[in-house]
A and B are shown apart, each in its own frame.
Chain A
Amino acid sequence: MYIGTEQLTHTYMPGTPFATKALQDITFSLQQGCFALIIGPSGSGKSTLIQHLNGLLKPTAGRVFFAGQSIGSDKQALLGLRKKIGLVFQMPEEQFFAETVYDEIAFAPRNQGLTENEVEERVNNAFEKTGLQSASLLKRHPFQLSAGQKRLVAIAAVLSLNPEVLILDEPTVALDLDSRDHLFNLLAQLNQEEGLTIIISTHHLDHVAALADTALVLKQGQLMLAGSLDEVFSRRKALYEMGLSLPAVTEIMHSLAERGLPVSTCVYTMQKAKQEILAAKKRG
């Protein structure tokens, strides 16, 4: 019961002919230190849901809680909350406005009113975590970076809040393979070594599945499935009917199992798949 919602409902433009129910009666809770996926097709309410988790959107009904307390609308409390829950929007590099990478990352700590010394420490810390090489990058203009570097800097710009929870909306959209792998390594490290709770909304499950332990599935604003990743991913048919597909490796394992090969289907990496298949063959 660390972070979650209770009967959360959100309606855009309530009371007008344009009213749309984006979320309906969502109840869930996540453990501290977990790595959770919020899965669903476009328009299923993923973005709306995660924006509630740090109070950017207000529930039409129900409540959102964090660390045992309801998230209210008191301004000071919300500012405090947003220091602990970092939210990285989709295509976050589109928010860049500063002259240098340094200033971009410094924006959040400066907004907290820290001294320049403290700000510098935060910036260096966040920048280091991203694993970007060469500190000279900090002096560059953000628009001069490659797509992958931009994405990492955008994440550093939220990590400089020193959050306990890091939420990312579709973090790998429009990234090449190397940048994506780099990003996932960063997230795994933040989760395992720094103990950050990580929540990712995504419809692309191929590589992130190996990192996560928990999954929520949304469709048309409703919570369809929730639980451990293995539980949720075992509901292959239900996921398929919702327009979602399992990671390609997992899909292969399901097909093999259906054909009678004694393999586990809770497989999300190539290495694990290889071990499973070789072992099954020996046993076979």
Chain B
Amino acid sequence: MARSITMGQYIPGVSIIHQLNPRFKLLTLVLILALLFLLETFGALVVSLGMALALFAMAGVPFKYLLRGLRPVLYISIFALIIYFFFTSGGVVLFRIGFLTVESEGGEQGIFIIARLVVLVLFSLLVTLTTTPLSLTHGMAYFLSPLQRLGLPTEEVAMIMAVALRFIPTLMEESQRLMRAQLARGADFETGSIFKRARNLVPLIVPLFVSAFRRADELAIAMEARGFRIGAKRTRMQDDLITFKDWAALVITLALIVLVLIFNL
């Protein structure tokens, strides 16, 4: 059933963070990411981490989603840490293995870089967990819209993304149903050589494509019937959603950035 498929990483919610305009969220995210690259002291980093966690608390996103999002970072971190420990010299010698010496400077640098990465990922997660993929797409399309003058169809790409997002759950459900239907006819998708297995997928892939094309065709007609025309001027309902909250969020972010920069001195 389609209920099993979540829309990207988005966790539905009603917090103030959820309500912010995606354009502002993206803008503040970029500002914060830039800030993080300027940071040089642990103090400033700790303050930013605190900010990130406070915002997570405000958004009401369960802690486990945060950990799940950080999991990929873990592997990169361990790898990076090892490299820094072994290949950066300076500071106190901690221990030696054969010809390799492990010195404190490398450790400190490694930990700092990883901590920065973690904070960076946390802020990005905050945006993707509280914004629907559709809003994100529209937000990005807005910032890319100057490219339209160069002839890039950013509006159309945003529409295509939106329609794709709408149909992913439907097509997932359909492929499950098709798989069961062919299983009922004795199909085997699991055994045999790679070549045989690939061939066994034909009864799945052919109908899935036929259906996807039929859906695309019907949808295109339905969109046309509702007055959609490629290249025609249209408005977007979400465009008015810039409220006082958004400006307030932007000002607060700027203030916090200044605060963090002070800690950075």
A and B touch in the complex (CB under 8 A): yes
Instruction: Report which A residues bind B (CB closer than 8 A).
Output: 12-13, 16, 18, 20, 22, 51, 54, 56-57, 79, 82-83, 86-87, 89, 92, 94-97, 107-108, 111-112, 143, 157-158, 161
Nearest-Cβ distance from residue A52 to partner chain B, whole angstroms: 11
Q: Do residues A12 and B3 form an inter-chain contact, with CB atoms below 8 A?
A: yes
In the A-B complex, list the 7 residue pairs whose CB atoms are closest, starting with the nearest. A111-B186, A97-B206, A87-B184, A89-B181, A108-B185, A13-B4, A97-B203
Report the bound CA distance from A18 to B5 in whole Å.
Answer: 9
**B145 is an interface residue with CB less than 8 A from chain A:** no
Residues on A with C-beta less than 8 A from B3 are 12-13, 18, 20
A89 to B202, CA, bound (A): 18
Q: Is the CB of B211 within 8 A of A94?
A: yes
CB neighbours (8 Å) of A161 from chain B are 185-186
Sample of 24 A–B contacts (CB below 8 Å)? A12-B1, A12-B3, A13-B1, A13-B3, A82-B184, A83-B186, A87-B181, A92-B181, A94-B178, A94-B210, A94-B211, A95-B178, A95-B182, A95-B203, A96-B207, A96-B210, A97-B202, A97-B203, A97-B204, A97-B205, A107-B187, A112-B186, A158-B185, A161-B186
Q: Beyond A22-B1, A86-B184, A158-B185: 10 further Cβ-contacts under 8 Å?
A: A20-B1, A51-B180, A56-B180, A82-B183, A83-B186, A95-B181, A97-B203, A97-B205, A111-B187, A158-B184
B interface residue numbers (CB < 8 A to A)? 1, 3-4, 6, 177-178, 180-188, 202-207, 210-211
The complex places the Cα of A57 from the Cα of B206 at a distance, in Å, of: 23
> Bound complex: CA of A54 vs CA of B184, how far in Å?
8
B residues in contact with A82, CB < 8 Å: 183-184, 186
Q: Which applies to chain A's interface (DSSP): helix, strand, loop or mixed?
A: mixed
Alpha-carbon separation in the docked complex, A111 to B210 (Å): 23
Closest chain B residue to A96, Cβ basis: B207
Q: Closest CB-CB distance, A7 to chain B, in whole Å?
A: 22
Q: With the chains together, A112 CA to B184 CA distance in Å?
A: 12
A79 near B186: Cβ-Cβ < 8 Å: yes
- Report the Cα distance A186→B211, complex, angstroms: 28
Do A157 and B4 have beta carbons less than 8 Å apart?
no
> A108 contacts which chain B residues (CB < 8 A)?
185-186
Q: Out of A13, A107, A158, name the residue touching B203 (CB < 8 Å).
A: A107
A144 to B3, CA, bound (A): 35
Contact A56 B184 (CB under 8 A): yes
Q: Cβ of B207: which chain A residues have Cβ within 8 Å of it?
A: 94-97
Closest to A75 in B: B190
Give the distance in Å from the alpha carbon of A86 to the alpha carbon of B183 in the complex.
11
Q: Name A18's closest neighbour in chain B (CB-CB).
A: B3
CA distance A12 to B204 in the complex (A): 22
Whether B185 lies near A107 (C-beta < 8 A) is yes
Kindly list chain A residues whose C-beta atoms are within 8 Å of the C-beta of B184.
54, 56, 82, 86-87, 89, 158
- Residues on A with C-beta less than 8 A from B188 are 111
**In the complex the two chains form, is B206's CB within 8 Å of A89's CB?**
no
Q: Which residue of B lies closest to A167 (CB)?
A: B184
For residue A22, which residues in chain B have a CB less than 8 angstroms away from its CB?
A: 1
Separation in Å of the B177 CB from the closest CB of chain A?
Answer: 7
| Given A94-B211, A95-B203: A157 touches B1 (CB 8 Å cut-off) | no
CB <8 Å contact, A89 and B6:
no
Considering only CB atoms, which chain B residue lies closest to A112 in the complex? B186
Closest B residue by C-beta to A56: B180
| Nearest Cβ on chain B to A45's Cβ, whole angstroms | 11
* CA–CA, A94 and B204, complex, Å: 11
Q: Which residues of B contact A89 (CB under 8 A)?
A: 177, 180-181, 184
CB distance from B139 to the nearest CB of A (A): 26
Complexed CA–CA distance, A33 and B182 (Å): 25
In the complex, how many angstroms separate the beta carbon of B27 from the nearest chain A beta carbon? 31
**In the complex, A54→B1 CA distance in Å?**
18
Closest chain-B Cβ to A17's Cβ sits at a distance in Å of 9
CA distance A12 to B206 in the complex (A): 27
Min C-beta distance of B179 to chain A, whole Å: 9
Q: Given the complex, which residues of B lie within 8 Å of A97, measured CB to CB?
A: 202-207
CB closest residue in chain A, given B185: A108
Taking the closest CB of chain B, its distance from the CB of A23, in whole angstroms, is: 12
CB-defined contacts of A157 to chain B, threshold 8 Å:
185
| Closest CB in chain A relative to B77 CB, distance in Å | 28
CA of A266 to CA of B178, assembled, Å? 38
Find chain B residues with CB under 8 A from A16 CB: 4
Q: A16 CB to closest chain B CB, in angstroms?
A: 8
